[in-house]
Amino acid sequence: MHHLEQLLSETEAGRPKIIVFESVYSMSGSVSPIEKVIKLAKKYNALTLLDEVHAVALYGPTGAGVAEQLGLAHDIDLITGTLGKGFGVFGGYVVGKDVVIDAI
C-alpha cells in the first residue's frame, strides 16, 4: 500500500489514474485490502477496477465477491468477473456506472 501511494502521489496533477487489482489472488489465496485501496483512490482521484474472478460464487451474500461481502462494491468504479469458474458456464462480465461502461 505504501508503494501504491508513492506512485499515486508522484503522478502529475490532473493525469488520469486507475488502480487495477484482484480481490483474491489465486496463487496465494490472500485477499486484497480493498478498503485501503478505495481510500487511496479517493485521496488521489483515481478510478478503481477490481477483478473478482477468484471470488465470485464464493464470497458475499449473493456470491458477487469480496467487495459485496465487505459492503464495498458500491465504492468500486468497475468490477470484472468470470462465469466459467464458480458458476460453471462460460463468459465474463464488467459492471460499473453507465457512463464508464459506455466509455468502454
Q: Collect the ranges in the chain with pLDDT lower than 70.
A: none
Given this model, what pLDDT does residue 21 score? Answer: 97
Given this model, what pLDDT does residue 27 score? Answer: 84
SS3 content of the chain, % helix, strand, coil (to 5): 30, 20, 50
Catalytic residue among 17, 36, 42, 85: 85
* Helix or strand (DSSP H, E) at 57: none
17 an active-site residue?
Answer: no
Class of domain 2-103: alpha beta
Regarding pTM above 0.85, the answer is yes
Given this model, what pLDDT does residue 35 score? Answer: 98
Given this model, what pLDDT does residue 37 score? Answer: 98
What 3-state class would DSSP assign to 54?
Answer: coil
Domain ranges of the chain: 2-103
Given this model, what pLDDT does residue 29 score? Answer: 85
Residue 71 and residue 8: Cα distance in Å, rounded? 25
